[in-house]
């Protein structure tokens, strides 16, 4: 039986696909009954779509595969703590659980900035587990942004 770490490793592979396209490396994997149903990785730049976060891409693919916009019993593994948009989509999909790797102190709503899933006035409460493979997930993001900063600092060649 696969563990949270096994699924997060798959999400990290998805994040690498995002990096390869020049996108912020975030990956997600949707799981039901211990089996991977769908994948997603960040694509907002490539798709010219501000909603094309890894989580949304995985939820869309999973809903299409299962033939239902509700995804009860499903779990989502994502390399970065979800933002408000993604958390809202997870609630509407009725996910059973979200597992994330790296915390996001700027936009994370699973405990960093706030915990949207703990709001008692909301009608669905998804279980949240954070910090699974957090070092690997954080390192991938840090390395990506360091490489972007380094590329911007390179002097431009002058052709004479």
- Active site amino acids: 55
Strand partners, 31: 36, 75
Q: Which helix (H) or strand (E) holds 137?
A: helix 134-153
Please tell me the distance from the alpha carbon of residue 11 to that of residue 4, in angstroms, as a whole number.
10
Candidates 135, 110, 47, 138; CA nearest to 56 is 47
Residues ≥6 apart with Cβ < 8 Å to 130:
81, 99, 100, 101, 103, 110, 111
- The set of residues, in sequence order, having a beta carbon less than 8 Å from that of 116 and lying 6+ positions away, is 84, 87, 88, 91, 109, 110, 122
122: three-class secondary structure by DSSP: coil
Partners of 77 in the beta sheet?
29, 99
């Amino acid at each position: 039986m696969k563990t949270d770490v096994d699924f997060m490793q798959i999400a990290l592979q998805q994040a690498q696909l995002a990096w390869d396209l020049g996108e912020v490396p975030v990956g997600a994997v949707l799981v039901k009954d211990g089996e991977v149903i769908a994948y997603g990785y960040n694509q907002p730049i490539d798709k010219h779509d501000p909603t094309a976060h890894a989580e949304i891409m995985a939820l869309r693919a999973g809903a299409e595969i299962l033939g239902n916009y509700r995804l009860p019993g499903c779990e989502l593994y994502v390399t970065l703590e979800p933002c408000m948009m993604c958390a809202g989509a997870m609630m509407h999909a009725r996910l059973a659980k979200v597992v994330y790797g790296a915390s996001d102190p700027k936009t994370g709503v699973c405990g960093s900035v706030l915990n949207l899933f703990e709001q008692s006035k909301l009608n669905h409460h998804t279980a949240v587990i954070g910090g699974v493979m957090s070092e690997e997930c954080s390192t991938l993001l840090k390395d990506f942004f360091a490489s972007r900063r380094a590329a911007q600092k390179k002097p431009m060649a002058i052709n004479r």
